[in-house]
Amino acid sequence: MNSFFSNLWSANAELVITIVKIVLLLFIVLTVNAYLTWFERKVVAHMQSRWGPYRVGPHGLLQPLADGVKFLFKEDPTPAGVDKFVYYLAPLLALALALTGIALIPFGPDPIRLFGHDIYLGIAPPDVNIGILALFAITAMGVYGVTLAGWSSNNKYSLLGGLRSSAQMISYELAMTMSVVGVLLMAGSFNLKKIIEAQAHHPEWGILGWNIWPQILGFFCFFVAAIAETNRAPFDLPEAESELVAGFHTEYASFKFAMFFIAEYTSMITVSCLCSIMFFGGWLSPFPASWRFAHYLPSAILIAFGLWVIWDGIRYETIFGRIILPGAGTVIAGLGAVFVLFPNVNEFIQGPFWLLSKILVFLFVYVWMRGTLPRFRYDQLMAFGWKLLLPLSIVNVIATSFIILAKMTWGTK
């Protein structure tokens, strides 16, 4: 490397690393989003005794790709009488804010050392003091995407959807913010990394040390309020198909609609991250620290899953599937084998593995709830938020504070 480039590198290394991380995370999040739609359709379909997407690629795995192409090539008409500026701004705002939120999530405890720089998993530096507050700030702004889309579309159904969404978000944001106060009190910090570390005070407790046990009330309030914040079933009143056509995005087609779609799925991921970080120990393993053999669990799961994919693939109906599925299975099983063979790599992936598994579980719960629960009626929604969730979360805050106070006064250190 000549001196010009090495100077440029040393001066801007942080910047370059951050930009690369942003591009990488963007790519990962968008891909995960695409496959989340597949996952959701598949899970809901099986719950309803259907097959779900099956035609495009083996097990419908190329369906997200087909959907993406469809979104890109559909005609994108702008309805008459819309407020042009706001109409174009709304999907952009929704997508940009949803993607910004995920930048604040730390995905692993340890940095990778590359080119003489510690690279942390996650875009924001791990010492952001206001991690959780910044996330709430971004969520609070996220309302505008939906609200403004509803207003600017010049359509009464959209307007109703936008109105519902803003009312719903104001109501549930209170409960959501109050419900995490208990966790913050226990951690004594807004920093997401410190919140996770506070749950590892007793390394031998494993899963019993997580916030979910003392904060089960807080978790209930947070998760319900967060589902409402992300406008997902059973709180998807802003887009209730049966009454409002499609609510706020009735007048959006093509890629502008896709932007709302991506925003919604990205906020689902963010909420799943938050739930795992604040209540389920983030990247902590559920097993006591002395159980060394638990470190081979990621490999075992990957290899087992890979072998199953191979076994399933060689019996698949189409020739394409008989080639692709065993190939994918080999890659997955090979990844598991790599983790076993290189202890360093294995130690490094422990954190991200547990965090990602927890996120996956929460995403499944999201889909599960959508497949199970009917939509709330509007007055039920309001009563539920104001008369149940908010008082419960306040009770949780007061109880937690008193217990912490009692521990500080009489407790043995």
Binding residues for another protein, rule: CB under 8 A, are 83, 85-86, 129-130, 133-134, 136-137, 139-141, 143-144, 147-148, 150-151, 159, 162-163, 166-167, 169-170, 173, 177, 190
DSSP 8-state assignment for residue 31: H
Please tell me the distance from the alpha carbon of residue 401 to that of residue 387, in angstroms, as a whole number: 22
Please tell me the distance from the alpha carbon of residue 346 to that of residue 339, in angstroms, as a whole number: 5
Shortest Cβ 144–another protein spacing (Å): 7
By beta-carbon proximity to another protein, the closer residue of 139 and 276 is 139
Question: By CB neighbour count within 10 A (0-12 exposed, 13-18 middle, 19+ buried), where does 127 fall?
Answer: exposed
Q: Do residues 55 and 65 touch, judged by C-beta distance below 8 A?
A: no
Q: Do residues 82 and 153 touch, judged by C-beta distance below 8 A?
A: yes
Please tell me the distance from the alpha carbon of residue 19 to that of residue 26, in angstroms, as a whole number: 10
By beta-carbon proximity to another protein, the closer residue of 56 and 163 is 163
By beta-carbon proximity to another protein, the closer residue of 139 and 393 is 139
Backbone phi, psi, residue 124, to 5°: -70, 140
End-to-end CA distance of the chain: give it in Å, rounded: 56
Shortest Cβ 253–another protein spacing (Å): 23
Shortest Cβ 136–another protein spacing (Å): 6
Shortest Cβ 401–another protein spacing (Å): 12
| 92 CA to centre of own chain | 19
By beta-carbon proximity to another protein, the closer residue of 44 and 137 is 137
Determine what percent of the chain falls in helix, strand and coil, rounding each to the nearest 5: 75, 0, 25
Shortest Cβ 402–another protein spacing (Å): 16
Q: Do residues 135 and 228 touch, judged by C-beta distance below 8 A?
A: no
By beta-carbon proximity to another protein, the closer residue of 102 and 212 is 102
Shortest Cβ 226–another protein spacing (Å): 15
By beta-carbon proximity to another protein, the closer residue of 86 and 300 is 86
Q: Which of 298, 265, 367, 230 is nearest to 31 (CA)?
A: 265
By beta-carbon proximity to another protein, the closer residue of 166 and 276 is 166
Shortest Cβ 179–another protein spacing (Å): 15
Please tell me the distance from the alpha carbon of residue 172 to that of residue 363, in angstroms, as a whole number: 20
Shortest Cβ 163–another protein spacing (Å): 6
Shortest Cβ 134–another protein spacing (Å): 5
By beta-carbon proximity to another protein, the closer residue of 143 and 332 is 143
Name, in order, each residue with C-beta under 8 angstroms of 280's C-beta and a sequence gap of 6 or more. Answer: 210, 211, 212, 358
By beta-carbon proximity to another protein, the closer residue of 133 and 361 is 133
Q: Do residues 21 and 120 touch, judged by C-beta distance below 8 A?
A: no
Q: Which of 88, 71, 70 is nearest to 79 (CA)?
A: 88
> Which residues on adjacent β-strands are paired with residue 118?
113
CA atoms within 13 A on the CB side of 295: 16
Pairing of strands 112-114, 117-119: antiparallel
By beta-carbon proximity to another protein, the closer residue of 145 and 281 is 145
Shortest Cβ 142–another protein spacing (Å): 9
